[in-house]
Chain A
Amino acid sequence: MKKTTTINLAGLVFHIEEDGYQVLRDYFDEVKRIFSTQEGVDEMISDIEARFAELFQERLNPYKEVLTSQDVDEVIAIMGMPNELDEDFEDENAYEQRDFKRMHSNRKLFRDIDDGIIGGVAAGTAHFFNIDPVIIRALWIIFVLLGGSGVLIYIIAWIAIPPARTTSEKLQMRGEYVNLDTIKGYAQNFGKEAKRGFNKASNTMMNSVKQGNNFVIRLGKAFLTLISILLLIIGVLSLTSLSLSFFISYPNILFDTSIQLNDNVVNTNFPTLVDVFFANDTLALFSLFILVLVPILFLIILGIKLLFSQKMKVKTLSIFLLVIWIVALISMSIIGVYTGLDFKEKYKSENKVTITEDYNQISLRFIEEDILITDFIDSDFDDYFAIEQDQIKLGYVNVQVIPTEDSLFYYTIERSSNGRTLKTAKERADRIQFEVENQDSVLTVPTRYIFSKEDKIRGQEVGVKIYVPYDKVIVLQGNLEDYPISIISSQKVSKGRLEQTSSWRSEKSGMKQID
């Protein structure tokens, strides 16, 4: 049982099934569109209508009063598809005309405005190559990410490729060969889709009443889709990197979450960093995780919502996420304050060592991880920070060269640290492992100092002061141009002078370079 409708064709009345009517109406719309530039198109169409009427009449008899969609298909097959009527079309596409058996030769590039997300370019292209639209879309996104050329290409394609409006165009787009069965199948499908789409359409009707706004609306939608896809990509990438930095611990060959700190690579992962700094490390880690995770989740949810369904209910989820985010924020603030208290007191211990032998000249050399700093080592000596197993290694040790009226060389080692109380600060300072090696007239200073991970980073610092008696000489070995070394002198010491091993003589007014 099918619903019929009544049409007037060349002054005759026909009862026709509704799906058949749909196909017929599309057909004439398309003819009108193709020949719209030609003079006397209305007259031509009424001629064609008259022929349709004749051919329809042949298919009716006293026992068959209604035209079926099959009748319509048959007559259209006789008359030819709208674009076949065009003489010029025949030139360019003649190969398509008879070659019905060749499925793909019928295929034309159209935009699929029914299945498309933005303008149907990807869906249409996919139909043309007979592949899944997802592949084309993925390629497009890659193009967009690689410098945004995809956006431009898309807009050009959007303008250049015609949309598949009529049934015949839609079939050609899909490369189905235009015969009774395919049109029928398509028409039935279309009918179902049309019913479903009707409710949606009536909602948006108000917006699209103004034809001029139509393009603007679609363009706006396109941007919205683009933005939502970008949101999704950013969200997923952030989520991945977040998970990696939190859950993959060093050493891991695949995902080395090395952190670049100044010029020195710190081979560690995020939880360890949190661990060596914050007071309550587990809670801090968890809170930080939530603090970062929630905004990322919001990005993803927003992207999905924009892309797939405007009506998606995310209110409850959003409120839940917001609440746990605020909780994490409060917990993080408390931990922050608590950690800050560890910096309340500062303690500095000083340890003096005198070189008992009366040398006229001593050498000062620096050793970094068992490697001697020579003239040929060009290091930046930027702040160094590394976590090795249970130890934290920091650099660089500050060095001062100071003239003294004493008769013997001596040096002091200063270890300082912060703590909640002076006592804890002192204990921390004492636990810093750092020793200057003194062999004969040579002082060897390690550039880095070590302390336990359990001590956490609480402003631990080490300084070495070397006192040079008047008229005696100290040789600074190696390229120390960028090393944090200060030489007490009457003139300003230009760092360039430390590029090579240099000798300095102690005088009352300050150190003086002698070569």
Chain B
Amino acid sequence: MFLYFCQKVVIMKVENTQAQMRKGILEYCVLSILSKQECYPSEIILQLKAVELIVVEGTLYPLLSRLKNADLLDYRWEESNEGPPRKYYSLTKKGTDFLKSLKETWVVLKNAVQQLENEKL
């Protein structure tokens, strides 16, 4: 019983960090996808799944909701031939600025990680 709990704690720590990393990046990636073209959720999911950034699709929706509440995203309705009407999300002016500053940070982070890892080698 005790061993089982120990094991659990160790696993949790690793996965926890992974989730933390993914969480920030996910937000950046969603904004990044929407900066290229407006999308409806299923399209975003498709792209994210292709790069294995999300595990379950549902994760996207609270994120979209949060970004929209922060006025970073806006949406418009469009009828669809295949199914229900689609909600196309796009970046607001505020969202574009937000993404811009995120991108700067990301570049710094990416370089930092690369440099540190190369130094090690």
Interface residues of A (CB under 8 A from B): 9-12, 35, 38-41, 43-44, 47-48, 50-51, 53-54, 57, 78-82, 84-87, 90-92, 94-95, 97-99, 104-105, 129
Contact = CB atoms under 8 A, between A and B. Distances in A.
Given A9-B84, A81-B56, 19 more contacts: A10-B85, A11-B85, A12-B84, A35-B62, A38-B66, A39-B69, A40-B65, A47-B64, A47-B87, A50-B87, A57-B83, A80-B58, A85-B59, A86-B62, A90-B19, A91-B20, A91-B23, A97-B56, A105-B11
**Interface SS, B side:** helix
A53 B87 CA distance: 13
B8 A11 contact: no
Interface of B: 1, 4, 8, 11-12, 15-16, 18-20, 23, 41-42, 45, 55-59, 61-66, 68-69, 82-87
Question: 5 nearest interchain CB pairs?
Answer: A80-B56, A10-B84, A94-B19, A44-B65, A94-B15
Contacts of A86: 62
A61 to B, nearest CB: 13
B61 A85 contact: yes
Q: Which of A12, A57, A87 is the most central at the interface, judged by chain B CB atoms within 10 Å of its CB?
A: A87
Contacts of B68: 40, 43
A78 B61 CA distance: 13
Contacts of B57: 51, 78-80
B60 to A, nearest CB: 9
A51 B23 CA distance: 21
A57 B84 CA distance: 10
**Interface SS, A side:** helix
Given A10-B84, A11-B84, A57-B82, A91 B58 contact: no
B17 to A, nearest CB: 9
Contacts of A80: 55-59
A51 B41 contact: yes
Contacts of A82: 58
A84 B59 contact: yes
Nearest to A34: B62
A50 B44 CA distance: 14
A87 B66 CA distance: 11
Contacts of B45: 51
A108 to B, nearest CB: 12
Contact of A94 (B18, B62, B84, B86): B18
A91 B18 CA distance: 9
A54 B42 contact: yes
A47 B64 CA distance: 10
Contact of A12 (B8, B55, B66, B83): B83
B83 to A, nearest CB: 5
A128 to B, nearest CB: 11
A116 B3 CA distance: 29
Nearest to B56: A80
Nearest to B14: A95
Nearest to A97: B55
Contacts of B66: 38
A94 B85 contact: no
A47 B23 contact: no
Nearest to A83: B58
